[in-house]
Amino acid sequence: MLVFKFGGASIKDANAVRNMLGILRRFPDYKIVVVVSAMGKSTNELEEILHHQLEKKDCNLLLQKFYAKHLAIIEDLFQDAASITQQLHFQLEFIKKDLLKAANKPYNQAYDSIISQGEMISSMIIETFLIQEGLKAKKHNANNWIKTNSNFRDAAINWPLTESNIISGVQSAFTENDLIITQGFIGSDDDNQITTLGREGSDFSAAIFASCLNTDSVTIWKDVPGILNADPKKIPEARLYTELSYGEAAEMTYYGASVIHPKTIKPLANKNIPLHVRSFQNPDQSGTIIHDCSVEHLRPCIIIKEKQCLITFQVTDFTFISEHNLSKIFTTLDQLGIKINMMQNSAISFSICVNADWHPLQELIKELEKVFKILYNKDLELITIKNYEEGLINGFKEGRTVYLEQRTRKNYQMVVKP
């Protein structure tokens, strides 16, 4: 048994979906759990629609564009598109009704309910297309199997219940089908409200299924040849890692490498399940394998996180930053679900670099400005160089304003103005 994950880029349009079909036909002797993301940039589009609604702006034009994009894919893929078009229409009406309720819900809960519809729509289209093309495929909604707490937008997995659900559900589903189509990124809480596992969490969903089912491997099909030592869009000379250890890959994801989700590695490493990252454009290439191994002389890895915010908390009474002060800051960060990407303290201040998600950051500042003087800079980048070389550091510093930097024996980080 295998688990395949297809991200937004790999199913972004009709030709990409046909390419996905070709990849699946390469594995006729396997039962495969196929985890799909939303198509293309649908998640970003739904976020914009939700924010328009919450800001009391007219979002009808954005909804029409969202619908038209999916309708165009359907009309390209299907010989008889009437039935699936009707399903798409029903899904859009569901989104519209949910948007009307959004202002009366906590933001994170409203977010999960709306944004998860991208995956629901893509899985519906893909299931119908694969059946049309003669494959024995069946869609099952991930939120019926993956159970979580109610920490919306970053839900924690109830592993015993999830494992029980997946084992019984998948075994039953595979008695009549060779392919199970399900959604990445989503689960549900004890009240059956949809939760999400963190942005880009479809990789983690694939790892959850693989871990619960003890599959032979997981393959993430990407628009890159595998895991590179830098983003090729930013650093054209980026080179491929043919293999990585679980530990090295986990560190890369922690520091912000975007090829795989940070939570993906642990459940696979615990079961010693290999993770393949391969190109959906060139499926003959082997890509990168992450497994239990040791790689000598690993080349430096350069990770650039954009849209960062540097926040500095200063004490106001000329005392020093103490454990008591830090406790207040960390408690508030935890309550708001804000993750620290880098931190540093001095005698009278404590600085953190975080993702510039402005909704929770406004709440953070509002809560803590009662206690601290708060300064912040937006539109920054966090550059991390793993297994660094001095020449690389100097090259990245050149022409940039450095706001914060620190290094360990293996890793170097700096917060800079782009």
Give the model confidence (pLDDT) of 156-187 as tens digits. Answer: 999 999 999 999 999 999 999 999 999 999 99
Give the model confidence (pLDDT) of 304-357 as tens digits. Answer: 999 999 999 999 887 888 999 999 999 999 999 899 999 999 999 999 999 998
Percent of the chain with pLDDT over 70: 100
Q: Please report the pLDDT score of residue 358 as a whole number.
A: 84
Q: Please report the pLDDT score of residue 391 as a whole number.
A: 87
Asked if residue 199 has pLDDT above 90, the reply is: no
Q: Please report the pLDDT score of residue 35 as a whole number.
A: 98
Q: Please report the pLDDT score of residue 246 as a whole number.
A: 95
Percent of the chain with pLDDT over 90: 88
Do 402 and 415 meet the contact criterion of CB atoms below 8 Å apart? yes
Q: How many CB atoms lie within 10 A of CB 48?
A: 16
Q: Please report the pLDDT score of residue 36 as a whole number.
A: 98
Distance CA 318, CA 308 (A): 29
Backbone angles phi, psi at 390, to 5 degrees: -60, -40
The reported pTM is 0.88
Q: Please report the pLDDT score of residue 271 as a whole number.
A: 97
Q: Please report the pLDDT score of residue 413 as a whole number.
A: 96
Q: How would residue 229 be classed by pLDDT, with cut points 50, 70 and 90?
A: very high
Give the model confidence (pLDDT) of 354-388 as tens digits. Answer: 999 888 999 999 999 999 999 999 999 999 999 99
Do 378 and 397 meet the contact criterion of CB atoms below 8 Å apart? no
Q: Please report the pLDDT score of residue 254 as a whole number.
A: 87
Q: Please report the pLDDT score of residue 340 as a whole number.
A: 95
Q: How many CB atoms lie within 10 A of CB 80?
A: 8
Give the model confidence (pLDDT) of 102-123 as tens digits. Answer: 999 999 999 999 999 999 999 9
Q: How would residue 126 be classed by pLDDT, with cut points 50, 70 and 90?
A: very high
Q: Please report the pLDDT score of residue 390 as a whole number.
A: 87
Distance CA 308, CA 172 (A): 45
Q: Please report the pLDDT score of residue 226 as a whole number.
A: 95
Q: Say what the alpha-carbon torsion angle 245, 251, 257, 263 is, to the nearest 10 degrees.
A: 90
Region 21-41 average pLDDT: 97
